[in-house]
């Protein structure tokens, strides 16, 4: 097959990492793969350079959603960008009209430039929904939710949801037979099987929360839980916060840490390239998002033999069996989060048992080859 993948960003967020894994497997399967990006110089392009037989194309285009917490000027810029996309779409048609793509696959719900392009090029169109949008990222559709969902239903051959929770959320607007659930796949390089002696070295428990620093990811809840643990008399712990700062949110969190006098207990690491080494030093990972569409970071943590304490929202309950391979707490309830942290801090053997069960659970269900096989099968069904 000839497949055109359309990226929605230039940086390496979770969605882009999943895209990289997918295109690599599709290329290895013998398909002709092209990746379209909105920027020429970006982290995504640098990573694609290391994958052989991938054709790379560039043209600037923007989202059809905008961050709801931005000012009127930025919102107006997104609106202008939306109408500019019609120009970009025309140039893409000129560029690709002789390519004869079988499949055009958009990597995120935040871009719509591929929908009508697929119709113009006579290709089947697959739309990958990897986010709730409003609930997890504070995004709103420029033309409104109802119109936009009608547009999706009219111009899409299949929508891929990355969790059952996401599918259920969108079914109130989209036909039930339009969507299919395909969990994200994680490459085997994230596997790390720990031994008992690798946990809680010197009886100190290291917690890790990783991912972009932005509202909705639960960092404030973690800081309050750490303060609660100190009030209860616990001192043998450390919280590591790893991730790229978004819109200056790290300064807000650092101010909270200062107010709660947690400078010795919470460390900001910024964006970490070697995340596997960091996970080898962590004992427990925290996923405290208000609405996690899948939880790539959750599966990566489990693959590294780390039990996960997660909020009971979004897709987290699909991935974690509380008390078996991790723990669930009521979303935004920092006292209940502190209770979960205390429970594991008091019982090193439970950390080890949950971590090992998490490893076995994740490696058998979320490997990247399975993800690619399911998506390839979907392509064949559409074309047949």
Domain ranges of the chain: 2-185+367-383, 188-365
Are 2-185+367-383 and 188-365 the same fold in CATH?
yes
Other residues' Cβ atoms within 10 Å of the Cβ of residue 271:
14
**pTM of the predicted structure, to 2 decimals:** 0.91
**3-class DSSP state of 209:** strand
**3-class DSSP state of 201:** helix
Query: What percent of the chain lies above the pLDDT cut of 90?
Result: 89
Q: Which residue has the tokens 């967020």?
A: 13
Q: Is the pLDDT of residue 34 over 80?
A: yes
CA–CA dist 273, 278 (Å, integer): 9
Q: Among 8-17, 83-92, 131-140, 346-355, whose mean pLDDT is lowest?
A: 131-140
Copy the structure tokens of residue 324.
Answer: 């078996």
Write the pLDDT tens digit of every residue in 231-272: 999 999 999 999 999 889 999 999 999 999 999 999 999 999
Q: What pLDDT sits at residue 31?
A: 97
Query: What is the fold, at CATH topology level, of the domain defined by 188-365?
Result: Rossmann fold (3.40.50)
Torsion of CA 86, 35, 366, 329, to 10 degrees: -40
CA–CA dist 17, 14 (Å, integer): 5
Q: Which of 195, 225, 227, 213 is nearest to 356 (CA)?
A: 195
Q: Is the pLDDT of residue 69 over 90?
A: no
The arithmetic mean of pLDDT across residues 286-314, rounded, is: 94
CA–CA dist 24, 93 (Å, integer): 25
CATH architecture, domain 2-185+367-383: 3-Layer(aba) Sandwich (3.40)
Q: Which residue has the tokens 């699909």?
A: 318
Q: Is the pLDDT of residue 33 over 80?
A: yes
Q: What pLDDT sits at residue 311?
A: 96
């Amino acid at each position: 097959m000839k497949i055109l993948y359309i990226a929605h960003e230039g940086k390496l967020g979770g969605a882009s990492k999943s895209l990289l894994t997918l295109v690599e497997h599709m290329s290895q399967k013998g398909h002709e793969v092209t990746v379209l990006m909105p920027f020429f110089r970006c982290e995504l392009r640098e990573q694609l350079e290391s994958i052989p037989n991938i054709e790379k194309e560039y043209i600037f285009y923007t989202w059809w959603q905008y961050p709801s917490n931005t000012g009127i000027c930025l919102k107006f810029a997104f609106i202008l960008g939306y109408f500019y996309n019609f120009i970009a779409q025309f140039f893409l048609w000129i560029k690709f009209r002789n390519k004869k793509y079988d499949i055009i696959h958009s990597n995120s719900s935040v871009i719509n430039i591929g929908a009508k392009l697929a119709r113009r090029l006579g290709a089947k169109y697959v739309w990958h929904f990897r986010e709730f949008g409003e609930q997890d990222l504070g995004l709103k559709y420029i033309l409104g939710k109802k119109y936009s969902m009608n547009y999706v239903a009219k111009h899409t051959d299949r929508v891929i949801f990355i969790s059952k929770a996401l599918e259920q959320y969108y079914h109130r607007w989209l036909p039930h037979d339009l969507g299919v659930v395909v969990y994200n796949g994680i490459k085997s390089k994230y596997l790390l099987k720990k031994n008992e002696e690798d946990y809680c070295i010197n009886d100190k428990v290291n917690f890790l929360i990783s991912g972009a620093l932005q509202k909705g990811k639960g960092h404030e809840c973690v800081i309050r839980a750490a303060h609660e643990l100190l009030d209860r008399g616990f001192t043998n712990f450390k919280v590591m916060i790893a991730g790229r700062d978004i819109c200056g949110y790290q300064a807000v969190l650092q101010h909270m840490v200062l107010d709660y006098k947690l400078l010795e207990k919470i460390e900001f690491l910024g964006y970490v390239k070697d995340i596997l080494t960091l996970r080898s030093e962590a004992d427990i990972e925290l996923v405290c998002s208000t609405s996690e569409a899948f939880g790539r970071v959750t599966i990566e943590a489990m693959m590294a033999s780390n039990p996960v304490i997660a909020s009971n929202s979004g897709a987290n309950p699909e991935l974690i069996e509380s008390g078996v391979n991790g723990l669930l707490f009521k979303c935004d309830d920092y006292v209940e989060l502190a209770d979960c942290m205390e429970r594991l801090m008091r019982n090193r053997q439970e950390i080890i048992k949950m971590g090992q069960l998490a490893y076995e659970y994740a490696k058998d269900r979320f490997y990247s080859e399975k993800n690619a096989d399911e998506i390839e099968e979907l392509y064949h069904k559409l074309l047949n």
